Amino acid sequence: MDQGAARRVELLLPMRTVLIVLAALGVAAALAAIGDTFLIVFVGIFLALVFEYPVRFVMAKTHLSRGLAATVTVIGSALAVTLLMLVLLVPLAGSVRDFLQDLPATVESLRESDELSWLGDSGGAENVQDGAQQISVSIPDAISSLLGVAGSFFGVFLAAFTILFICLFLISDIVNLKRAAGSVLMPGEDERWLDVWERVTTSVSRWAIGVVVIATIAGTTQGTTAWLLGSSYAVALGVIAGLLDMIPNIGATIAGFILVPTLWAEEGVTAAIIMLVVVLVYQQLENNILTPKIQGKAVSLSGFFIIVAVTLFGALMGVLGALTAVPLAATIQIFVQELTKARREKVAAVKAALEPAANDSEGAPH
């Protein structure tokens, strides 16, 4: 046989597999083409899940109809957030901007401190200095530019308006949507999948509300500590700590790497050590007391899967993906658990049937 002869390999694929692959590619291409619109719809649906339980609470306390309770809750929350933004956003954003613009000077001060002077002009120190310089240069001078409002106010308003009403109409119409979904499901299946919906809603709503509360506590605690230690960037550090705390598992650690060196550069090594102790103690309080009390078991994911989810969803959707990675992963887990429930029950039954036989063989005389 000629060793140089070309071989022909035939690959047989079922038409169903080909169609599924083509459909998946088509959906991916469509999402890429309408990326911004898809993101708006995603945020609207996500907020609807977040507001579902607050709306039910308002309905239970006021006996309002679902539509009216949803309007009061969603519009009221939007107005409250808008007022807070008008009062606090500009000064908070200005403080963060000043901190980032002064970052090169902060790094330089840290390099010149007695404790770190041995770093000198090492490659690592130079890289950090260059990175700080690039961040500082990229920060715009105008607050309006920093907030991304200048020249695009109408676009921002339209996106916010669309998100708000997608959320509102989904919550208001959810009963009809459930009824429509139940009408195409076999008896028994409707209860099964509506129960899945309830579990997803509970998970997302409790997680989101808990994250906002815990992030506020984190930002306030660490920002106040920085202020008491004499930092001129206390407000900015509090905002940064609160925002980063929303990123599960790694956010608080990243915040520590920002707060501690900043206090070191400004107030010396003693202040930095105090800040480090506060960060570490707060993390333990958050992980062992605040999160269990506020969020409970809203999500039950291992640390490994949380990190993987943050990495993957962060790569797909940027900061928004990293922030929503945990509830998205929890939702996927709920669906996977439901789809594999019958299989797991079957495996458990087989194992239970084999255990008596195994015990009898172990107890039999040799």
pLDDT in tens, 123-164: 555 555 555 555 555 554 444 444 444 445 566 677 788 888
Does residue 199 carry a pLDDT above 90? no
- What is the number of other CB atoms lying within 10 angstroms of the CB of residue 67? 15
Q: Which amino acid is at 359?
A: N
Distance, CA of 292 to CA of 273 (rounded, Å): 28
Residue 326: is it exposed, middle or buried by C-beta count within 10 angstroms (0-12/13-18/19+)? buried
pLDDT for the residue numbered 120: 53
- DSSP per position, 22-77: HHHHHHHHHHHHTHHHHHHHHHHHHHHHHHHHHHHHHHHHH---HHHHHHHHHHHH
* 276, two tokens: 């480090």
Structure-model confidence comparison of residues 249 and 228, the more confident one: 228
Token pair of 112, please? 């010149």
Q: In this model, does residue 23 exceed pLDDT 60?
A: yes
Cα-based distances in Å from 6 to 10, 11, 12: 13, 16, 19
Which tokens belong to 278? 């506060």
Q: Taking residues 31-45, report their average pLDDT.
A: 72
